[in-house]
Amino acid sequence: MEYIKEILCQLFSILIYPGLLFLAVAGLTADWLDRKLYARMQNRQGPPWFQPLADFVKLVSKETIIPKSVDSFLFKVLPYIAVAAVVSCAMMIPFDGGEALIDFPGDLIVTAYFLSIPIMCFFLIGWYSSSPYAAVGSMRVLTQFFAYEVPLTLVLISPAIIAGSWSISDIAYYYYINPLMILFNILGFAVALITMQGKLERVPFDIPHAETEIVGGVFTEYSGKLYGFIRLAVSIEMIIVCALISAVFLGGSLGFEGIAGFMVFAVKLLFLIFISALIRSLMARVRIEQMINFCWRVLTPLAIVQIIIAVCIAYNLNRPQEMLEPMDNDSYVVEEFYD
């Protein structure tokens, strides 16, 4: 009986909360908020609250057209792999203030790895499509990925170094106990906000989907429910990326648990979505070489500076109280004693 109960609990976590159903609702809500904020910043009305859901239902109900010249298996399965990858990330992020459903040392690295899977899927989607626009878009996806992924990974490591843990739950708890330590990650937080736009392929880094240049980019050949699930994967990815940044840079739910913890976490997600919409409304699309130069010449050095700051802070926090005691033979021994 206990075995059956455990299986049902796992199925509930995967399918309901914090799994597919919760992330689908949260992703569609985030999509609506982003579009609404973007419209209001441009002095437009914006869509009604049910518009993202209506768009998804409309796409699912339409016929899916598969070009004859593509690999039909990959063409069909890649959107679902992208959705599965971003849903898997939710299992390692504490949304309600407690421990994540899957909590282990190193889950920060695993989450960053899983977030790269949708990018690889989008690259393959465009590469195996029959459209030249999709092929160009896929090359831009991969080129852009190598540009922003380095500074993004470096700044995600920085809070972990100070917290002394590679677990997302432990990092969030550490900054709840030591809120002033958040200030030492402000530079990394700024870099994370900018690279988040590249991760989500949003303005000014929406180069792989430039409608005025390459029509629909990597998704040019997609239609019907397959395109609907691609849109769903992108919406869920926004929630996951914002939740990850909130957990490692802003202290997660600040020690609150249950409904209160979830509400605190939701407020931080709204703040990050607002910042993303603000960047989207203020900036124009840049060229691919401009994006690469900016990431490698500006963001990566700033990320390295943030790593150096984190290492210095971590060393001072764990500095031995007894250092280098002299011995009779004029050699030295280091006695490590930590608080």
Mean pLDDT, contiguous 10-residue spans, the chain (339 residues): 80 85 93 93 91 94 86 89 93 82 89 93 87 88 92 94 91 90 94 93 87 81 92 94 93 81 90 92 88 94 95 78 41 40
| Amino acid 262: pLDDT | 87
Q: What is the pLDDT of residue 320?
A: 43
N-term to C-term CA, the chain: 46
Structure tokens at 168: 């997302």
Domains of the chain, residue spans: 2-318
What are the DSSP E strand ranges found in the chain? 325-326, 332-333
Torsion, Cα 314 315 321 322, to 10 degrees, reads 150
pLDDT attached to residue 337: 37
- Residue 210: the pLDDT is 79
Q: Is the pTM of this model over 0.85?
A: yes
Rounded CA Rg of the chain? 22
- Residue 129: the pLDDT is 81
Confidence (pLDDT) at 214 = 78
Burial pattern 241-270, b for ≥16 Cβ within 10 A else e, equals bbbbbbbbbbbbbbbbeeeebbebbbebbe
**Residues 25, 28, 29: CA angle, nearest 5 degrees:** 80
Q: Which of 189, 179, 220, 227 is nearest to 79 (CA)?
A: 227
Place of tokens 């419209």: 39
pLDDT given at position 39:
92
CA separation for the pair 286, 4 (Å, rounded): 54
pLDDT, position 333: 40
Overall residue count recorded for the chain in this entry: 339
